[in-house]
A and B are shown apart, each in its own frame.
Chain A
Amino acid sequence: MINAILVFNNHGKPRLVRFYQHLAEEVQQQIIRETFHLVLKRDDHICNFLECGSLFGGSDYKLIYRHYATLYFVFCVDSSESELGILDLIQVFVETLDKCFENVCELDLIFHMDKVHHILQEVVIGGMVLETNMNEIVAQVEAQSKLEKAEGGLSAAPSRAVSAVKNINLPEIPRNINIGDINIKVPNLSQFM
Chain B
Amino acid sequence: MPAVSKGDGMRGLAVFISDIRNCKSKEAEIKRINKELANIRSKFKGDKALDGYSKKKYVCKLLFIFLLGHDIDFGHMEAVNLLSSNRYTEKQIGYLFISVLVNSNSELIRLINNAIKNDLASRNPTFMGLALHCIANVGSREMAEAFAGEIPKILVAGDTMDSVKQSAALCLLRLYRTSPDLVPMGDWTSRVVHLLNDQHLGVVTAATSLITTLAQKNPEEFKTSVSLAVSRLSRIVTSASTDLQDYTYYFVPAPWLSVKLLRLLQCYPPPEDPAVRGRLTECLETILNKAQEPPKSKKVQHSNAKNAVLFEAISLIIHHDSEPNLLVRACNQLGQFLQHRETNLRYLALESMCTLASSEFSHEAVKTHIETVINALKTERDVSVRQRAVDLLYAMCDRSNAQQIVAEMLNYLETADYSIREEIVLKVAILAEKYAVDYTWYVDTILNLIRIAGDYVSEEVWYRVIQIVINRDDVQGYAAKTVFEALQAPACHENLVKVGGYILGEFGNLIAGDPRSSPLIQFNLLHSKFHLCSVPTRALLLSTYIKFVNLFPEIKTTIQDVLRSDSQLKNADVELQQRAVEYLRLSTIASTDILATVLEEMPPFPERESSILAKLKKKKGPGTVTDLEEIKKERSSDMNGSAEPTSVNASAVSTPSPSADLLGLGAAPLANSAPPPSSSGSLLVDVFSDSASAVAPLAPGSDDNFARFVCKNNGVLFENQLLQIGLKSEFRQNLVISSLISFLNHFLCLNLQTKPVDPTVDGGAQVQQVVNIECVSDFMEAPILNIQFSPKQEVQNIFKAKHPMDAEITKAKIIGFGSALLEEVDPNPANFVGAGIIHTKSTQIGCLLRLEPNLQAQKWLVTMDVMTENLAIDLVFLQKFSRTIGPFVAFQVANQDFDHKHSLKIFMSSSCSQVGRLAKC
Task: Write the residues of chain A forming the contact surface with B, with a CB cutoff of 8 angstroms.
Answer: 1, 14-18, 20, 22, 25, 29, 32, 42-43, 45-51, 53, 58-60, 80, 82-85, 87-89, 91-92, 99-102, 108, 110-115, 117-118, 121, 125-136, 138, 140-145, 147-149, 151-152, 155-156, 159, 175
Contacts and interface: CB of A to CB of B under 8 A. Distances in A.
Given A100-B4, A111-B17, A132-B256, A84 B167 contact: no
Given A112-B9, A114-B96, A138-B3, A25 B71 contact: yes
B14 A45 contact: no
A142 B644 CA distance: 70
A84 B60 contact: no
Q: Which of A48, A53, A126, A155 has the most CB of B within 10 A?
A: A126
B133 A152 contact: no
A129 B343 contact: no
Q: How large is the interface on B (under 10, 10 to 19, 20 to 34, 35 or more residues)?
A: 35 or more
Nearest to A158: B51
A22 B8 contact: no
Interface in B13-30: 13-14, 17, 21
B384 interface: yes
A127 B71 contact: no
Contacts of B126: 143, 147, 175
A31 B246 CA distance: 36
Q: Which of A58, A85, A117, A125 has the most CB of B within 10 A?
A: A125
Interface in B136-181: 136-137, 139, 163, 166-167, 170-171, 173-174, 177
Contacts of B137: 20, 125-126
Contacts of A149: 8
Nearest to B57: A114
B5 interface: yes
Given A87-B308, A138-B3, A148-B89, 10 more contacts: A25-B71, A85-B255, A88-B304, A111-B17, A117-B63, A126-B137, A133-B247, A151-B87, A155-B51, A175-B124
Q: Which of B2, B4, B17, B171 has the most CB of A within 10 A?
A: B4
Contact of A49 (B9, B344, B621): B344
Given A126-B139, A133-B202, A88 B256 contact: yes
Contacts of A101: 2, 4, 6
Nearest to A117: B96
Contacts of A136: 202, 246
B307 interface: yes
28 contacts: A14-B69, A16-B67, A22-B103, A22-B104, A25-B69, A29-B69, A42-B382, A43-B381, A46-B385, A47-B384, A49-B347, A83-B308, A83-B311, A84-B304, A84-B311, A91-B304, A100-B2, A108-B6, A111-B14, A114-B63, A126-B135, A128-B136, A130-B166, A133-B202, A133-B247, A145-B5, A151-B52, A175-B126
Contacts of B17: 110-111
Given A101-B4, A140-B163, A88 B301 contact: yes
Interface in B587-641: 619-621, 624
B307 A84 contact: yes
Contacts of B92: 118, 144, 148
B889 interface: no
A134 B248 CA distance: 10
A104 B637 CA distance: 61
Contacts, number: 201
Contacts of B263: 80, 82
B190 interface: no
B201 A133 contact: yes
Interface in B40-67: 51-53, 56, 60, 63-64, 66-67
Given A47-B347, A126-B136, A88 B255 contact: yes
Contacts of B580: none
A141 B4 contact: yes
A126 B621 CA distance: 26
B716 interface: no
Q: Which of A59, A89, A117 has the most CB of B within 10 A?
A: A117
